[in-house]
Structure 1
Amino acid sequence: MRAMILAAGRGNRMRPLTDNQPKPLLPVAEKPLLGYHLEKLASAGVNEVVINHAWHGEQIEDFVGDGSQWGLQVSFSVEPEGGLETAGGIIKALPLLGEDPFWVINGDIWTDWDYRDLPTDLEKGLLGHLIMVDNPIHHSNGDFAIENGLLVNGENENDARKTFSGVGLYRKELLAPYPEGKQPLKPFFDRAIDKKQLAASYHDGFWTDVGTPERLHQLNQRLEK
């Protein structure tokens, strides 16, 4: 099983904490955020991990090395300054990710979700499976709703929209026709949703987007109790 950790973002909202280091290396309960993902992926049976980077990427490579301390084989996808956005970064890394479905994890989240519960395969016709969570205060309208195990855009007021956690299982075909350069991921999701090709599960436990110094502080307080 292969996985990709997205770690190329500049982390502007985290400044000045990210002026001299990448956001995934910020300490959470005295451990770099990236370390939690590597531990959990290894425990879930992943053996190969791709990490993309653009901002202070050499620090990420120095911390991770070849991945052997976690029992992983890690390779890196180096992006130009400013990064390629989410879909662009995944597309650039596709040669390292193989032909089978692979997990993609945002490097700047923290969750108590057990990665061993993540799906490892997709039913015929599906291009992805996203993990959805309750809407945080800073994203109160959510992203998509779940209907009979599939994602829908949930544009009706009665639809219970949830937030995409930044954890998903994808077939590479989700990103066809594989355009190069900066590419956001949402248009690819929207297209797959329209064709009923995107499944979802709901996680009702703890999740946070570690996107600001305040949320980082709150997470540290929670884990240090």
Structure 2
Amino acid sequence: MTTARTAMVLAAGYGERMRPLTDTMPKPLVPLAGRALLDHVLDRLAAAGVETAVVNVHYLPEQIETHVQARADRAPKTLISDERALLLDTGGGTTKALSHLGDGPFFVHNSDSAWSEGVTPALANMLRVWDPARMDCLLLLAPLSTSIGYHARGDFDMTPDGRLSRRGERQVVPFAFAGVSLCTAALFEGAPQGPFSLNVLWDRALDKERLYGVRLDGRWMHVGTPEALKEAEASFEREGA
């Protein structure tokens, strides 16, 4: 099976929709079921075999740096990518960290993406499905029907073989992006300079029919607001996640 030894953890945003919790605390440190969201992510990456994670910082960066230092004896080894001077968005932030991520494959993981595992652990399943001959990028997708805290019309439709298409303007599609992707450094060849969204690179892959998805076998928790955090807490308690 494919292995991913490195990962990018996107932790630099302001978390504005999570206010007032994020007035004095960066969103990655907001607790969920007794652990910081960032710890949920790093522990899951370690369980999937990731040895080195790069965490980018911008908003209240010292708090994240202190938190990462306090878990220095726990896997994965965690490096800081400093975006204090300029917030680079998901694509620009990952591009800045490529020298630490290697050729890949590597995960790119939102710091606020949480879920309860189903029968098949999500990250291990992504590694099992990964096929660079067909794919430029593989996204973890959550069914709307079982997701918590997500109230939009979905992001992608998916064919039986996993190929993705985006939701049309008036369309409702069955899957939301669950905050994790798997790719190689090749995805970033010719990437824009400065701040940009990963969506730019995903659209490029879509045009070549090389953007694929894998369904989450579990319950995704879109922890975007204080209300959604409460829903996720209740779900963790029910499911023992």
Q: Same fold (TM over 0.5)?
A: yes
Give the fraction of aligned pairs with identical amino acids, expressed as a percent.
36
Q: Is the 8 A contact 1:26 1:33 kept in 2?
A: yes
Point out the more displaced range, 202-211 or 60-69: 60-69
Rate the CA distance shift 1:9–1:68 in 2: closer, same or farther, 3 A.
same
The equivalent of 1:144 in structure 2 is: 156
- Aligned pairs for 1:40-189 (under 5 A) are 40-65=44-69, 68-80=72-84, 83-113=87-117, 114=121, 115-119=123-127, 121-135=130-144, 138-147=150-159, 148-153=161-166, 155=168, 160-189=173-202
The CA deviation at 1:64 is 1.3
Q: Is the 8 A contact 2:191 2:201 kept in 1?
A: no
What is the distance in 2 between the residues matched to 1:123 and 1:39?
26
Q: Is the 8 A contact 2:10 2:111 kept in 1?
A: yes
The equivalent of 2:228 in structure 1 is: 215
Amino acid paired to 2:212: A
5+ unaligned residues in a row in structure 1: which ranges? none
Point out the more displaced range, 75-84 or 134-143: 134-143
Counterpart selection for 2:28 from 24, 29, 39: 24
The CA deviation at 1:158 is 8.6
Q: Is the 8 A contact 2:109 2:181 kept in 1?
A: yes
The CA deviation at 1:161 is 4.0
Render the CA deviation track for 1:98-140: whole Å, top value 9, x for unaligned: 1121101100121124233331653224211111112357443
Task: Report SS of the residue matched to 1:112.
Answer: strand
Render the CA deviation track for 1:4-25: whole Å, top value 9, x for unaligned: 1110110111111111111010
Task: Report SS of the residue matched to 1:18.
Answer: helix
The CA deviation at 1:173 is 2.1
What is the distance in 1 between the residues matched to 2:232 and 2:213?
26
The equivalent of 2:207 in structure 1 is: 194
5+ unaligned residues in a row in structure 2: which ranges? none
Amino acid paired to 2:152: S
Point out the more displaced range, 144-153 or 98-107: 144-153
Q: Is the 8 A contact 2:41 2:113 kept in 1?
A: no
Aligned length: 225
RMSD: 2.2
What is the distance in 1 between the residues matched to 2:76 and 2:237?
27
Counterpart selection for 2:15 from 11, 23, 45: 11
The CA deviation at 1:81 is 5.4
Task: Report SS of the residue matched to 2:22.
Answer: coil
What is the distance in 2 between the residues matched to 1:4 and 1:92?
10
TM-score normalised by L of structure 1: 0.90
Q: Is the 8 A contact 1:129 1:170 kept in 2?
A: yes
Task: Report SS of the residue matched to 1:51.
Answer: strand
TM-score normalised by L of structure 2: 0.85
Q: Is the 8 A contact 2:103 2:186 kept in 1?
A: no
